[in-house]
């Protein structure tokens, strides 16, 4: 498996073209299962391992999927099976998002339990509660979850105990073909939910309120393929924004949407980073010293948990002590131990990390324990003295397109031992040597 090698201390400069959002395209691909007529054409689908995996899940169901130059074409007129196998679902939690569409379309779905995970227990009780409220019988056994409904799902009022992104998406997709109206209360409000609702509406669904805490879905008889462009990846953009700040540089995030990044922008401004937004993107400039700030992760529009580790990397080099509180996942501080190997000074007390700033970071051998932790290690390495060697690169490949090439073009001294596309080609040949995901 590949390693990423970084020699820190270089300034960066230039434009970063932000890719389509991983967390938007995955549910959108799953939603394509609902289109019993025509073809769905999904533009700006980023070439990530997660996208390859979910495409394979659809193909394993007998659905036609073509992926070429960031465009995915899905023809789901015929589906051969309602079962998504363990081998694929274990690679990525988001594969579970095919449950709602399959249940709605075929009245039955059998999906392997999504695998264990490093950032928290990540139960799926809220997804199942929603399906049950819509009339599905759920059975668990032999590592699989089976859901069945006689006839169509029935519209229902569903209150989510936690504003889960995945549960909101899964229930919203299932409800599009249900009989009657479904209301999701305490729904997640993330931009990716809005993108999915826009996609479903373009397929013929009737969804209102996406982006607010109450979403109403009027069921329709059938959906058809449509053409859609995926929103830009706010986490990819946020990660490069921190790359600019941590190296005292200036970068322009082309295509990034400021409104999707409000808490990240605000916190970076509080730290003393200059941020300018225009209609095409976001410019980040860091010249002076950075101030410590406290950060608490929350569901959207709060500070995103997917930016917590990267923000922590930046706080390690700020003046003063910062508190980072993780409220979304109960075990998302594994990067702290790796940061400590790089000479950071961080103490964890329950769900809060106390980050002492002004660290003189030093290169070390470290391991990416999950996707964003991996990105945060790259960021810390850019600001470190000496060489950092990062293993666990398969995690990073789940969510960043060519991150080493992009950073090298911006001026970083960074390379990976095996290029991402070669690892993907090997995976495409069928040797899915990507380990089960831990994030």
Ligand X SMILES: CC(=O)N[C@H]1[C@@H](OP(=O)(O)OP(=O)(O)OC[C@H]2O[C@@H](n3ccc(=O)[nH]c3=O)[C@H](O)[C@@H]2O)O[C@H](CO)[C@@H](O)[C@@H]1O
Ligand Y SMILES: C=C(OP(=O)(O)O)C(=O)O
Q: Is residue 145 within 8 Å of 110, Cβ to Cβ?
A: yes
Binding partner of 120, given ligand Y, ligand X, none, CB within 5-8 angstroms per partner class: ligand X
Q: Any idea which residue has 């991402």 for tokens? A: 420
Q: Is residue 263 within 8 Å of 292, Cβ to Cβ?
A: no
From residue 330, alpha-carbon distances to 301, 305, 327, 349, 388 in Å are 19, 11, 7, 12, 28
- Mark the segment that binds ligand X (CB under 6 A) among 118-126, 131-139, 348-356, 430-438: 118-126
Q: Which residues are catalytic?
A: 117
From residue 246 to residue 285, what is the string marking binding to ligand X with x (rule CB under 6 A)? ----------------------------------------
CB of 438 to ligand Y, least distance (A): 9
Binding partner of 399, given ligand X, ligand Y, none, CB within 5-8 angstroms per partner class: ligand Y
Q: Is 319 annotated as a binding residue?
A: no
**48 or 367, CB closer to ligand X?**
48
Q: Does 123 bind ligand X (CB under 6 A)?
A: yes
CB of 77 to ligand Y, least distance (A): 28
CB of 404 to ligand Y, least distance (A): 19
Q: Does 120 bind ligand X (CB under 6 A)?
A: yes
Q: Is 405 annotated as a binding residue?
A: no
> 212: which strand partners?
210
- DSSP-derived secondary structure for 332-348: --THHHHHHHTT-EEEE
**72 or 361, CB closer to ligand X?**
72
Q: Is residue 42 within 8 Å of 32, Cβ to Cβ?
A: yes
Q: Does 329 bind ligand X (CB under 6 A)?
A: yes
* Binding region for ligand Y (CB under 6 A): 23, 93-94, 306, 371-372, 399, 439
* Pair of tokens at residue 171: 């229930």
Q: Does 173 bind ligand X (CB under 6 A)?
A: no
Q: Is residue 237 within 8 Å of 253, Cβ to Cβ?
A: yes
CB of 357 to ligand X, least distance (A): 25
Q: Is residue 271 within 8 Å of 293, Cβ to Cβ?
A: yes
Which runs of E-coded beta strand occur in 357-412? 365-367, 387-391
Q: Is 22 annotated as a binding residue?
A: yes
Q: Does 126 bind ligand X (CB under 6 A)?
A: yes
Pairing of the two strands 181-185 and 214-218: antiparallel
Residue 203 gets the label, from left (phi > 0), alpha (psi -120 to 50) or beta, of alpha
* Pair of tokens at residue 27: 């549910």
Q: Any idea which residue has 């999707």 for tokens? A: 260
CB of 50 to ligand X, least distance (A): 8
Q: Is 125 annotated as a binding residue?
A: yes
Q: Which residues bind ligand X (CB under 6 A)?
A: 23, 26, 93-94, 120-127, 162, 164-167, 188, 192, 305-306, 328-329
């Amino acid at each position: 498996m590949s390693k990423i090698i970084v020699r820190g201390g270089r300034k960066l400069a230039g434009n970063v073209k932000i890719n389509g959002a991983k967390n938007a395209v995955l549910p959108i691909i799953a939603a394509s299962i609902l289109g019993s007529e025509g073809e769905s054409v999904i533009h700006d689908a980023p070439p990530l391992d997660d996208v390859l995996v979910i495409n394979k899940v659809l193909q394993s169901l007998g659905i036609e999927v073509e992926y070429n130059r960031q465009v995915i074409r899905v023809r789901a007129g015929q589906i051969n099976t309602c079962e998504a196998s363990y081998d694929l679902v274990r690679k990525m939690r988001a594969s579970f998002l095919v449950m709602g569409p399959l249940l709605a379309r075929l009245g039955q779905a059998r999906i392997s339990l999504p695998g264990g995970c490093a950032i928290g227990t990540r139960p799926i009780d809220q997804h199942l509660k929603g399906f049950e409220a819509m009339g599905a019988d759920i059975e668990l056994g032999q590592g699989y979850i089976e859901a069945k409904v006689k006839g169509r799902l029935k519209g229902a009022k569903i209150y989510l105990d936690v504003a889960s992104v995945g549960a909101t998406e899964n229930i919203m997709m299932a409800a599009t073909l249900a009989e009657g109206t479904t209301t999701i209360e305490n729904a997640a409000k993330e931009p990716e939910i809005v993108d999915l609702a826009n996609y479903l509406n373009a397929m013929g669904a009737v969804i209102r309120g996406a982006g607010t805490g109450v979403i109403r879905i009027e069921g329709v008889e059938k959906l058809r393929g449509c053409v859609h462009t995926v929103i830009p990846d706010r986490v990819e953009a946020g990660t490069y924004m921190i790359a600019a700040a941590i190296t005292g540089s200036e970068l322009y995030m082309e295509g990034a949407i400021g409104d999707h990044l409000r808490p990240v922008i605000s916190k970076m401004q509080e730290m003393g980073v200059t941020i300018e937004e225009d209609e095409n993107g976001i410019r980040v400039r860091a010249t002076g010293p950075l101030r410590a700030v406290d950060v608490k992760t929350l569901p959207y529009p709060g500070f995103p948990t997917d930016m917590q580790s990267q923000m922590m990397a930046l706080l390690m080099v700020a003046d003063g002590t910062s508190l980072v509180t993780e409220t979304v996942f109960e075990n998302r501080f594994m990067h702290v131990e790796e940061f400590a190997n790089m000479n950071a000074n961080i103490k964890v007390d329950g769900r809060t990390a106390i980050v002492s700033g002004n660290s003189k970071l030093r290169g070390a051998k470290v391991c990416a324990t999950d996707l964003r932790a991996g990105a945060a290690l790259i960021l810390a390495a850019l600001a470190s003295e000496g060489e950092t060697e990062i293993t666990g690169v398969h995690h990073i490949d789940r969510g960043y397109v060519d991150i080493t090439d992009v950073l090298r073009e911006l001026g970083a001294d960074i390379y990976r031992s095996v290029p991402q596309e070669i690892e993907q080609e090997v995976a495409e040949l069928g040797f899915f040597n990507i380990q089960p995901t831990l994030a």
